[in-house]
Structure formats: C-alpha cells, structure tokens
Amino acid sequence: MQVSEPNNVKIYNLSVGKSLPEWLSERKRRALLKKDVDLRRRIELIQDFDMPGLSTTVKMSRDGQYIFATGIYKPRIKCFDVNNLSLKFERCFDSEAVTFEILSDDYSKFVLLQCDRYIEFHAAYGRYYRLRIPKFGRDMQYHYPSCDLFVVGASSDIYRLNLERGQFMAPFTSNSSSINKCSINPDHHLLVCGTQEGKVEAWDPRSKTMVGSLDSAFNCINENKQLEGFPSVSALKFNGGLELAVGTSTGQILLYDIRSNKPYYIKDHMYGLPIKDVDFHQEQNLIYSLDSSILKIWEKNNGKLYTSIEASTEFNNLCTIANSGLFFLANENTKIQTYYIPSLGPAPKWASFLDSLTEELEEKNFEHVYDDYKFVTKKELETLGLEHLIGTNLLRAYMHGYFIDVRLYKKAKSVANPFEYEEYRKRKIRETIEKDRGNRVQLNNLPKVNKDLALKLMGDQTKKKKKESQSLLKDDRFKSLFEDPDFEVDKNADEYRLLNPVLSRLDSSKKKELKKQIITQAFEPIEDKLEDNKNSEESSDDFESEEESSEDEHTWTREVKKQHRIIQREHRERELRESQEMEDNVQEEVNKKQPKLFELRQGEEFKGLHNFKKKLNKATLGERLQVEDTSVKLLGSVGNREMTFLTHKKRNKLLAEKNKKHKEERKRLVRPTHGVNPKHKKFFSKRK
C-alpha cells in the first residue's frame, strides 16, 4: 500500500507492492514472505487481479457482486467474485475485446465487441453464439425495455440487434461519417451518440427518430481557439434525467443540461489528450474525468480541483463503485490499479476492513509530495554546475536552499562524478569483508586513520591513562577521528611538529614493540582481579609517575627546541632554493638572447650591422625589446662592446634586502617629535 496526499486528500493505492509468481511452491512462498518485508506489508485486495500484458476495460455487475476485466495477451476476460475476493473464471478469445456489456444482473450473460468486427455472446457455461457486423465497432449499449443491442463504429449507421428475436433490425442513420461513443439514459431511455464531427445526437428508441443534437465542437472552439486537432466526442455519461457530461478528444469536459444547447460549464484538462472516461459522484457533486495521463476529481459547480492521481503507466478505463470511495483503473500494466479515497465515501461491504486499516495508518507517517524532491544548498548547485537554473521552474526556493527533482539531481551528480558508483561499490565490498572478519579471532587492530595516535593511546603504561585511552578509542563521539580520512593529522605541518614532538618523532622500533604488546594482549584472557592487587598497582604507578614526570618535562622541552631549529633551517633552505631557481631562470633567458653569428661566403658582401639596424628601426617597440640584450650595450664601432655586471655575492643580496626591511621597520617604530614643545627642542639641541 502506498499513501499520498495531493491537495490535502489522502489517497491509498492498494495495488502497489511485490507479487509472488504462481509457479512457486508453498514452501518457497513462505520463505520469501519471511525474508522480504515488502511482501509481508503488501495488501492484495483481490487475488490475481491482473492481466498478463495490460488491461483495457473494467466493469462491475449491477448487483455489485462481480467484477469483469478484459486485457491481453492472449486476449481474455476475467470475472472476480467479491464475496470470496478471488477469481471466479477466466476465458480467452481469438481477438482483442474493444468493450463489453453485462446483460444480466450477475455474471451469467454478457456480450463482447471484438476488434475484428465479431460480437460474442457468453453464458454461464461459456461462449453461446458469435456473429459479425458490417463495419468495425467502437462502442455498444444494451437497451433493456426493447432488448435491442445498439452498436456504433466506423460508419454513419447505428446497428440494432434484437436479442429477443435474434435478428438485425433496421439501423438508425446518422448525419456524421462515424460514431465514437454511445450511451443510454436509464431514466427516460434516450440514446445519445458522440460523433467524429464533435456533435452529440439524441435518438428516441420508441419513435426511432433523432430528437435533437448538440454541437460541442463549436463551444470548445469558442472557449479556446488554440486547439490541437478537431474536438470530436470521446466520452459520454448521464447523471439523472437531465444532466450530461461530454468529453472531447482535445481534453475538454462539457457539462450540459439537455434542455439547453449550450454547456453551463467547460473544464479543460490542459494536457491536450483525449478524455477516455467521465463519471459522477452523487453524494458530493464531484466529477471523475480520465485521460491517459491523469485522473482528475473536481467540483461540478465551479470546476475546483478536489484531488488528482497521476499515471505511472497510461490509463485506459475507469470503474467506480456506487456509494463508495473505492474505484478501479485499467492501465497499460499487468496489475489493475485499485485506489481508495476515504473522504469520498466508506469502503464497500465486501472490503470493510479497509476502513479500520486506514484509520490505523492515519496515525502514522505517510509519503509526502516532497519525497520526489531533494533539498540542496547553493554551494551544492555550484559543484553540480546547476547554478544557472536558479529562478526557473526546475528549482523551488525554500529557506537557505532549493528543492530539485531527484531524477535531475541524480543525472547531474552522475555527470559531475562519473566514478562515484565504482567508489561506492568498492567501499561496500570492503565493509562486507570487514564484517565477515569480525567473526574470526578478535584482534585489537590499529585503525586506518591516525595510527600513531592510536598506538600512543594503546601503549600507555599507567592504569589511569589506560582507562582514559580505552574510553577515548571506544567512545562513539571520537569514532570519526580514527575512521574518516578528513580528520587525519598532517604530520608535516609546523604546528603539529611543535605541539606534539614526541608523537611526531616516534621511532619505528617503539612502534613495533607497541604493536607486539597490543597483539599479545589480545590473546590474553581478561579476568577480574582482587581489590588489594588493584590498590597496590595504583600506588606503585603513582610513585613511578611522580619520578618520571620531571624527566618527561625536560625531554619534551628539548624536543620542542630541536624541532623549532629544524623548522627554521628548512625555511631558510626553501628560501635559498627559490632564489636560486629564480636566478637560473633569468640566466636561461639571457643565454637564449646571444648575438647572432653570420657566415661569410665568396661573392657575397657583408655589411655588418647596418641592415640589422635598419630592420630594427622598422620594427615595433615590443620586437626591439625582445631582441635587445640588457647586459650588453652596442657602441659606435662594430667590434667594440661594453658589458655591465655585478660583483656582489648571493648572500650580500639577501643581507641587503634584510637590512632594507630592518630600516623600514625602525622608521615605523621611531617616535615622532611633532608633539614636543619647541623650547624643549632648543634645550636638547644645546646639550648636543
């Protein structure tokens, strides 16, 4: 069972859940029920309430005891007994059933209209008779007073088959090219037919003449001129003797009082899909309207939406149960959908347990509309590359972030990190292996993160420190310190080397000894000791700790000073290395700009640098600067050159920079004399 609450109306989907295959043995069924929680929680209202491929139509008998459903493949019809909540019989055909009509009050007589122009009559024991009509049929209705079966289809004729006489009667001839739908009013027995041209024609079976017509297509075009396709009639339903609902192929529902040729209300589904079925809810003045993508339940007077059910697969047909909130939906799936809305009415007598079940579920949590969305912050949107969607309908702003569709979020995440699934899979495999290892001999294995810290905590010798270290390692608050790699200590950081020199300079020999001690302790049996032994051990530990505390302080201070000197030396070496690299780069650039050598050949004149100077005069400033060598200056004559260079050493450069910085700092620190009295200034100058 799945519970949803669109528009604050609770809807219970009773057909959601896993189903067991029929070929399983009873033993395997019980084993699966024990293992799988979803199978135990599922609600199977009617057993085998499904079809092999899909279901096309669902109807209920007039006595309310039997449910009929047709589907494929192979084409078949199923009859279910609601008293036993199980299948009564199942029959297969040669071709698919377009629609069917139940002739009797129970299951004993029904007729099927098939897609190959055949009409089949069935009795309680099986198929009774089979005949063919001239044109392909689309719908049919049975008129009880005259025993006439009206069949409409891809022609202008309305075929009349009298079941009392067993022969065809003279058909009614319509003004349209074809008829899509027909319906009979149970009060005054008026036959109405919906045509391909968007008209509704009314025929009187007593006088056998057309008594009126409604142009629903004209009203749809006046209401909304931007229709895709022609609004032909696709659904018809009477409510009482005067009210008629007409569904069109462009997604509108028109409500008529048959005494007027204009609809008093027009409802648009806004999907542009044909309306497949329309029905009325008598108690609350609500209307069910169904297309292939959604079932809408809305108020008859003002068109306000009461609630809606979106289709996971395409809907085909609707079957409502009178005076109840239970209804069935035939769809393009194996299971026939069963929905229950307690606010529309109670459950029928044969499913009265649903009322008590829904009352219990109201106290628990139900699936909310936001379960299909995920909350993300602005930083997460930037990492996923979706910040350009801010302000669009794909993001709904909420508090300090946004709601985004889960499907879009998963697609963006897979593009941003395509190897996430592989990493997740490896991590899960690693976790399962570690779980299996837990059944083996338990060792105090070192964690993967911060091993040295764990070694130090495990290797403490005093009793008090042992208790503290064990509590720290077992405490769940510090669990991530030894598991999450983000909390791993950076041993190369200067702060760590100064604050924890003993831990950072821990020798490998000490580590090995500590590991051996930990492994041997794992195999030793743990026994409770007497209180006298505990007191003696604690007193000896306290005496030793007092003697060793002074020595530990001296070693710790010496180690800190040593680490400080090492860090300063490393910084100086890094600065010298960087300065050396800078000078090497400059020298490489200078070497690239060496003067060109010209080769003298016989029969050629060498003009020296005159042509070179002419080219430089024509060149741009940037080209001249690239060619010129700053370390060499050209003089008037061709052969003489002047070279400029520095004789200072590298260390002198560094000392000069340091002296310069020192002088600037001194200038900032010197106290100004602008606030001193001029008399005092003269006094100080005389003393000098």
pLDDT higher than threshold 70 for residue 539? no
Q: Each residue of 438-476: pLDDT tens digit?
A: 666 544 566 767 777 777 777 654 445 455 555 666 777
Concatenate the DSSP letters of all residues of 202-252 into one string.
Answer: EEETTTTEEEEEEEHHHHHHHH-S--SS---EEEEEEETTTEEEEEETTSE
Q: Rounded to whole angstroms, how far apart are CA atoms 516 and 524?
A: 13
From residue 373, alpha-carbon distances to 293, 304, 378, 379, 448 in Å are: 21, 26, 16, 18, 36
How far is Cα of residue 411 from the mean position of the Cα atoms in its chain? 8
Residue 327, pLDDT score:
92
Q: For residue 268, which amino acid is it? A: D
Assign 369 a pLDDT band (cuts: 50, 70, 90).
very low
Cα–Cα distance between 607 and 574 in angstroms, integer? 51
Distances (CA, A) of 169 to 61, 159, 191: 27, 8, 16
Of 146-160, 231-245, 375-389, the range with the lowest mean pLDDT is: 375-389
102-116 mean pLDDT: 92
Q: 268 versus 679: which is more confidently predicted?
A: 268
In angstroms, rounded to a whole number, what is the distance separating the alpha carbons of residues 373 and 184?
46
Does the pLDDT of residue 388 top 70, yes or no?
yes
Can you give the pLDDT at residue 368? 45
Structure-token match 């505990």, residue found: 534
Q: How far is CA 478 from CA 245, 471, 482, 487, in A?
A: 68, 10, 7, 10
pLDDT at 19: 56
Among 92-101, 120-129, 561-570, the least confident range: 561-570
Query: Which comes out higher in pLDDT, residue 613 or 69?
Result: 69
Average pLDDT over every residue of 562-586: 80
243-252, 486-495, 515-524, 568-577, range with greatest mean pLDDT: 243-252
Q: Reduced to 3 states, what is the DSSP secondary structure of residue 356? A: helix
Query: Does residue 505 register a pLDDT over 60?
Result: no
Structure tokens at 671: 């106290």
For residues 240-261, average pLDDT: 90
Identify the residue with better confidence: 54 or 437.
54
Least confident residue range of 133-137, 229-233, 542-546: 542-546
Q: Give the residue, 266 or 18, on which the prediction is more confident.
A: 266
pLDDT in the model for residue 282:
82
Residues near 643 by beta carbon (within 8 Å), at least 6 away in sequence: 631, 632, 633
Q: Range with the lowest mean pLDDT among 280-284, 384-388, 622-626? A: 622-626
Of 218 and 278, the structure prediction assigns the larger pLDDT to: 278
Q: Which residue has the higher pLDDT, 525 or 290?
A: 290
Domain boundaries, the chain: 369-421, 442-522
Q: Spell out the residues 6+ positions from residue 201 whose beta carbon is closer than 8 angstroms to its own.
A: 174, 175, 176, 192, 193, 195, 210, 212, 213
Q: Which residues pair with 57 in a beta bridge?
A: 70
pLDDT band at 380 (very low <50, low <70, confident <90, very high): confident
Range of lowest pLDDT (475-479, 507-511, 677-681):
507-511
Between residues 434 and 280, which one has the greater pLDDT? 280
How far, in Å, CA of 402 to CA of 603, rounded? 83
Contact in structure between 247 and 275 (CB atoms under 8 Å): yes
- In the chain, the percentage of residues whose pLDDT exceeds 90 is 25
Is residue 376 within 8 A of residue 401, CB to CB? The reply is yes
Quote the DSSP letter at residue 670: S
**What number is the average pLDDT over the span 518-523?**
50
677 vs 270, higher pLDDT = 270
Q: For residue 381, what pLDDT band results from cuts at 50, 70 and 90?
A: confident
User: What's the pLDDT score for residue 88?
Assistant: 92
Residue 460 CA to its chain's centroid (Å): 50
The pLDDT value recorded for residue 628 is 60
Is residue 184 predicted with pLDDT exceeding 50? yes
Cα(326)–Cα(239) distance, rounded to whole angstroms? 19
* pTM > 0.75: yes or no: no
The string of DSSP codes covering 461-507 is -SHHHHHHHHHHHH-GGGTGGGT-GGG---TTSHHHHHH-HHHHT--
Residue 685's pLDDT is 55
Q: How many Å apart are CA 434 and CA 449, to the nearest integer?
A: 16
Q: Looking at the predicted structure, is the pLDDT value of residue 154 above 60?
A: yes
pLDDT tens column, 55-93: 999 999 998 899 999 999 899 999 999 998 889 999 999
* pLDDT tops 70 at residue 540: no
**Mean pLDDT, the chain, whole residue set:** 77
Predicted confidence at residue 65, as pLDDT, reads 92
When comparing pLDDT for 364 and 243, which is higher?
Answer: 243
Band (pLDDT 50/70/90 cuts) for residue 366 is: very low
pLDDT tens for 642-671 read 555 555 455 566 778 888 888 888 887 776
pLDDT band at residue 637 using 50, 70 and 90 as cut-offs: very low
% of the chain with per-residue pLDDT over 70: 68
At residue 650, φ and ψ (nearest 5 deg) are -65, -40
pLDDT classification of 633: cutoffs 50, 70, 90: very low
Cis omega (within 30 of 0) on the bond before 264? no
**Where is pLDDT greater, at 289 or 35?**
289
- Long-range pairs for 541-545: beta carbons < 8 A, 24 or more residues apart: 541/461, 541/462, 541/463, 541/464, 544/462, 545/462
